[in-house]
Amino acid sequence: MANEMGRKASELKQRGDRLGREAVRSPWTERLARLGYLAKGVVYAVVGVLALQVAFGTGGEMTDTQGALATLAQQSWGKALLAVVAVGLVGYVLWRVVQAWMDPDGKGTDAKGLVTRASYLVSAALHASLAVAAFRLVLETGGVGSHGDQSAQSWTARLMSQPFGQALVAVVGLVIAGVGLWQMDKAWKEKFRRKLRLEAMRPPQAEWAVRISKLGILARGGVFVLLGGFLVQAALTANPQRARGLDGALETLAAQPHGAVLLAVAAAGLVAYAVYMAVEARYRRFQGAR
């Protein structure tokens, strides 16, 4: 019995590896991935622009990525764009799965490489839920459900209700903050340059692409640090209401002294991150897909 199960598991792995190799070699993998990066950029651009409007007192609202989808759906041209974004997000999810399974970027199988590849699966799951929300809005089968602060507080409360729940929330918060610090380190040291075909740009374009990308990744990393910090506070106080989503993080910045300036900087950073996603969509290196 054990030998039979082992044989079936081996066959499934071989079949998965074969499908993975085919996916890596397929030109459609690259096309979908590029569309995925662009779709992700559109979502962050909406979040950033709306927050910039709040900072400058010209309207807008604080929202998160799912709220950005709802905003797109409300525009006269939004359904068509949202459909493209939804397909792009599916492409991004598939690319993340390929990255985790087949490792086309050569992250390896040491501890650091496995953690990085595991993070791709987490990213795939998060963007899959975003893709589902986008399709629901396109097909008008319901709204995006709870999001932002409400969603963060809801799952934090559920996690806290489990055995060792406070400790688990604290660990999740530390991991998220750690990811944010890692992103900021990547941005500061400009490690992202290795993924981009900067030689395909004219030198002035490449210089500005690096500057804007650096600002965008720094800003997104800083937001992650804030979100992780809120979760750690929630764990330490046993109060899930302390958890915050992206919209809550932006509201917290706005509530500080000189909050309008802080909010404007953070929002501009999110728009810069959207530009970075567009740069990746056009100039990212794909070692496997052809």
pLDDT tens digit string along 163-203?
A: 888 999 999 999 999 999 999 999 999 999 999 999 999 99
Reduced to 3 states (helix: H, G, I; strand: E, B; else coil), residue 196 is: strand
Range of the domain at 257: 19-283
DSSP label of 63: -
3 within a domain of the structure (yes/no): no
In a domain, 144, yes or no: yes
DSSP 284: B
Q: Which residue has the higher pLDDT, 75 or 231?
A: 231
Residues 6+ apart with CB under 8 A from 107: 113, 116, 117
Q: Which residue type does 194 have?
A: R
Inside any domain, residue 268:
yes
Is the model's pLDDT at 144 over the cut of 70?
no
In a domain, 29, yes or no: yes
Enter the pTM of the model: 0.88
Does residue 251 belong to any structural domain of this protein? Answer: yes
222: which residues sit within 8 A by CB, 6+ positions away?
180, 184, 266, 269
Q: What is the pLDDT of residue 263?
A: 94
- Whole-angstrom Cα distance, residue 185 to residue 91? 27
Q: Answer whether residue 188 is part of any domain.
A: yes
Number of domains in the chain: 1
**Per-residue confidence band for 290, with pLDDT thresholds at 50, 70 and 90:** very low
User: Of the candidates 35, 99, 104, 102, which has an alpha carbon nearest to the alpha carbon of residue 280?
Assistant: 35
The answer to whether residues 231 and 169 touch, using CB atoms and an 8 Å cutoff, is: yes
**What is the model's pLDDT at position 29?**
86
Q: 8 in a domain, yes or no? A: no
Q: Quick one: DSSP state of residue 74?
A: T
Query: C-alpha dihedral over 20, 24, 30, 36, to 10 degrees?
Result: 30
DSSP bridge pairs for 196? 284
What percentage of the chain carries pLDDT values higher than 90? 63
- Is 11 part of any domain? no
